Amino acid sequence: MPVETGFVQRLFGTALDELLPGMRLHMRRLGDRRRALSLGGGRVYLPRSFFEQQDPHQPLRLADPGVVGVFAHELLHQWQRLQGRAVTREALGLHLRAACLRRNPYDYQVCADPQQMLQRFVEAGVEQQGQIWQDHVQALVQGRPLACMALIAKHVRQA
């Protein structure tokens, strides 16, 4: 829908343009339906509650910071795939290790220095990158942009 397309373009610039014509948002019907899922080819599966009136034919609830953050996280996985990352395989390994070792695959350390934060983003696993991006976008939507994320936003838009 135009609302979601505009949102994607504001966040990613032209970085996802090759996916936008075929990108599809779906309601998650299998597995943990409370969680979002991103698969290759621009397919994003979101919980029913993320859509207006809980109807997947309606726009996403982009005024809700939680919805926006998770949507941005899943979009970043699409971006990662365009950068050549094997997101599904890498995420599966991270989640298996997390279950065995009781480590949070999303956890990262925030720092105030934008250059250091960019370096952490570049070196991070796929889920950490997704969480960093999610935190950045949620802060933007809440009107509290994080200065430490400025170079990350630039990096993602220019890739």
Question: Using one digit for the tens of pLDDT, what is the confidence trace for 134-144?
Answer: 999 999 999 99
Question: Are the C-beta atoms of 145 and 139 separated by less than 8 Å?
Answer: yes
Cα–Cα distances (Å) from 110 to 24, 28, 133, 135, 136, in that order, read 32, 31, 12, 10, 11
Position 52 confidence tier, pLDDT thresholds 50, 70, 90 = very high
User: DSSP character for 58?
Assistant: S
How deeply is 156 buried, as exposed, middle or buried, from its count of CB atoms within 10 A (0-12, 13-18, 19+)? buried
Question: Using one digit for the tens of pLDDT, what is the confidence trace for 18-45?
Answer: 999 889 999 998 877 888 999 999 999 9
Give percent of the chain with pLDDT exceeding 90: 76
Question: Are the C-beta atoms of 88 and 40 separated by less than 8 Å?
Answer: yes
pTM: 0.91
